[in-house]
Structure formats: structure tokens, C-alpha cells
Amino acid sequence: MSAGARRAAPPRFFLVLALAIIWAPSAAARTTIIDDSGTQALEPAVSLRWKTASPGRHSVQNLMVGRTTLRVRLNVLPWLKRRGRIYLALPAQAPGPLTATWQTQGRLGPGQVQSGNRVLIYSGPITSAFIEDVVALQFSVDGQLVNRAFPVSVRFEMDED
Amino acid sequence: MHELPSPRAATRRRKASAEVRALRASRWRRAILGATVCLAAGGTASAYTVTLTPAAPQTVYLQVGVGSFTQSYISGGQPGNNPTINLVSTSVAAAAVGNGTAQAMTTNSTAAQSFWDNFVFCSVPGQLYIGGFYRTTGATTAAARVSATVPSALVSASGDSIPFSTIRWTSSGNGDSGAEPFPAGSFVAGGVQSVGAMASNTWNESCLSFSYANASVPAAGTFTGRVLYTLSTP
């Protein structure tokens, strides 16, 4: 590379950087974890029970399920008067693969998610500082992974349009 | 006198200048990256955590003869208690007593269908249903054992006896193949014997066909005895 070419490199870098900054919002949505500190569980203790009382004859039926109801209150003030997509995320966590299935009262969408993934539960304008709904959650886990009580975390994520 | 820079010195300065610009660019990258991180982490982030606690994770069910289930397992049935004691019996014709021809026994149990799926697994009255399961959380454990507590003999009202060891059974099931969880065998003449095993978290069932050896000539009469089946978990 010639010295002249080297001299020209920095301006190109800043040009590209500037373009990247300008284009960034439209190229990939920014994900932010939503403040859900106002969320409450109607049943604080979640009992995990066998989904079926009996195991299978030839194939093992080991699914255990636990149900709880959350009064979800999401602080979406930072996105007020904008559009956004809200996801329910179930991070990969111990003791192993989990499935969460939920029903709502309509403000958020129902769905199902495997641990390590997230699912869209709202898309549209943010018209109030808080989004609230009652979410009936059911967790499913292979009983062979369960030895004792364990915590499960879910979080709500916002992708800005 | 003004000294002209040598070409080599000029190259070094250009290199130094390029390095400074690269350093500045690097700082810019770090600054922008830092700002991005700050923006991403700027909100009050949180996650909601619930604790799942296994409740009554261990369940055992053993059925010998008739049993109780609210409905089939596939339909969400729940096991229940059934105090019924079933009878397995045979009547040996006077002319055949002690001729060495085994006499098939029949049962008053009506349990032909498996509570797993309502499939007609056993043929009554020729077969006695035996089945159950052992539920537990965690990794697969040692098998649960099913044992039979057997008296030494069947006894008549007049005090005569026939050794329990004269009764044996074969094991099968309609449409079944492979090894039976409760295999064929014969009773011991008094004592506790193993009659089968259940791997954890599996449904196990067999149909037992009993027979009396009929190789001796006991006194006339009705001979009875009771065998107790027990499921023991590890």
C-alpha cells in the first residue's frame, strides 16, 4: 500500500463508521430487557407434578408440569409513543431443557417457548407507560432432570422498530 | 541551514502519523462501543424468577387382579386403592387326581384391560393381571422389586396340605413380545420370593397363567392359601 493510500484510509473508516451509525437502527432492532419489577405471582410457590399419573408402557413418560399465574406489569415508558415488539424470553438454565406455555387475557399474546429462545407477545405502538396482563404460565420439564426445587427465570425483551 | 528530511525519516513520520490516527480510530471505536454498551444497559433490566418445587414426586402402584384407576392413563386417569383379593383356583376330577397332568387354574379376576390404554391385555378367566409402576424424579434409579410372600402349603379344613411349590405360572400378554417384567416361575414352599421388577418411570404388566402340578394324591377337600404381593422401592 502506498503512503497516499494509507493517508486516505482514516477518512474512509470514519465515513463507513458514520454510515453505520446512521443505518444501525434500521438494519437491526435494538433489544432491551424491560423493567418488569412490578410483576407479581398470584401463587408464589409453584408445585411441580407429574403431567400424567402413570408412566408409559414402553416409552417413558416423565414430563412434570408446574403452573403459576403472573400479574405482569411491564414498564415501557422509555418507548412511549413509539412502536416496539415485546418478547417473552426463557433463557437456557438449569436443570436443563424447559418449556413454558402461557395464556393471557389479551393485552399480550399467548404462546410457547423452549428454553434458550424467545417468542413475540406484542407488536405495535406503545401508548401507555405500562403494559399489564394476567399470564397463566405452565412450565414443563423432564422429571429425570429434577432432583430438588430450582428457580426458573423469564424476562421480557423490547425490540424497537 | 535548513536540513531536508531524508526519505527514510519522512517514511517514519508517515508511519508514526498513521499509527496515531489508528490509535485515535481505535479510541473512537472503544468510545462508540462503550456508548453502545451504556445505551443497552441503561434501562432498569430485570427478570422474573419463580421456584419450581417437585410435589409428591414418588408414586407407586401395584395391581394383582382387579385394580382401580379413575380412567385410562392416556385419558389422565389417577390410580386408586382396591381392597379386592382375587381367587385363582382349579377343581381336579376324581379320576384325574395325581395323574401328573398339570391342571390349568382360572381366576375370578375380571381385569382383562390394561389401565394404561384400556387395551385387552389379559384373557380372563385364564390369566391374572399383574402390573404397576414406580414414579420417581431424578435419573433412572435401581428397579423396584415385586415380591410374593408365600405360605408353605395350601391347607384344607381337615388340616391336610398341598405344598405351594406345586403351583407354577407362565407369563405373557396379548400382543406382547420380549421379556416379561413378571416372568414365569413357581411358588416356593414357604418364604418370600421375587416375582418381578419395575424400572423407574415405566409401566410394567404381565398376565400370569397358573397351573397345579397334580403329581400327588392328597386327601379329598378344598385347599386354600393366600399369597401376598409386595412392591418395594429402592
| pLDDT at res. B183 | 97
Our CA angle for B72, B75, B79, nearest 5°, is: 45
Q: What is the mean pLDDT of chain B?
A: 81
CB contact under 8 A, B49 and A153: yes
Write down the residue that cell numbers 382375587 correspond to.
B86
Q: Which CATH class is domain A31-160?
A: mainly beta
Tell me how close the Cα of B122 comes to any Cα of chain A, in angstroms.
15
CA separation for the pair B71, B205 (Å, rounded): 17
Decide if B55 touches A, using CB distance below 8 A.
yes
Decide if A122 touches B, using CB distance below 8 A.
no
Q: What is the pLDDT of residues B126-184, one digit of tens each?
A: 999 999 988 888 887 788 999 999 999 999 999 999 999 999 999 999 998 889 999 99
| pLDDT at res. B201 | 85
**Chain B neighbors of A50, CB-CB under 8 A:** 57, 59, 135
**Chain B neighbors of A46, CB-CB under 8 A:** 50-53
Q: In chain A, which among 48-107 make CB contacts under 8 A with chain B?
A: 48-50, 52-58, 60-62, 64, 66, 68, 70, 75, 78, 91
The complex scores an ipTM of 0.75
Tell me how close the Cα of B108 comes to any Cα of chain A, in angstroms.
25
| pLDDT at res. B78 | 79
More confident residue, A13 or A82: A82
Among A35, A54, A90, which would you mutate to test the B interface (most chain B Cβ atoms within 10 Å of its Cβ)?
Answer: A54
Tell me the domain boundaries of chain A: 31-160
Asked if A79 and A159 touch (Cβ cutoff 8 Å), the reply is: no
Local confidence band at B112 (pLDDT 50, 70, 90 cut-offs): very high
Tell me how close the Cα of B42 comes to any Cα of chain A, in angstroms.
9
Q: What is the pLDDT of residues A32-65, one digit of tens each?
A: 999 999 999 887 678 998 887 777 665 567 889 9
Contacts of B231 (CB under 8 A, 6+ apart): B60, B62, B132, B134, B144, B145, B146, B198
Tell me how close the Cα of A34 comes to any Cα of chain B, in angstroms.
6
DSSP-assigned letters across all residues of A128-157:
SSEEEEEEEEEEEEEGGG-SS-EEEEEEEE
Asked if B45 and A35 touch (Cβ cutoff 8 Å), the reply is: yes
CA separation for the pair B180, A121 (Å, rounded): 49
Tell me the domain boundaries of chain B: 1-48, 59-232
Decide if B81 touches A, using CB distance below 8 A.
no
Q: Is A94 exposed, middle or buried (0-12, 13-18, 19+ CB in 10 A)?
A: exposed
Decide if A121 touches B, using CB distance below 8 A.
no
Q: Which whole number is the average pLDDT over B104-121?
A: 92
Q: Which whole number is the average pLDDT over B65-82?
A: 81
Residue A21 has pLDDT above 70, yes or no: no
Tell me how close the Cα of B113 comes to any Cα of chain A, in angstroms.
13
Q: In chain B, which among 116-175 make CB contacts under 8 A with chain A?
A: 116-117, 133, 135-140
CA separation for the pair B23, B6 (Å, rounded): 25
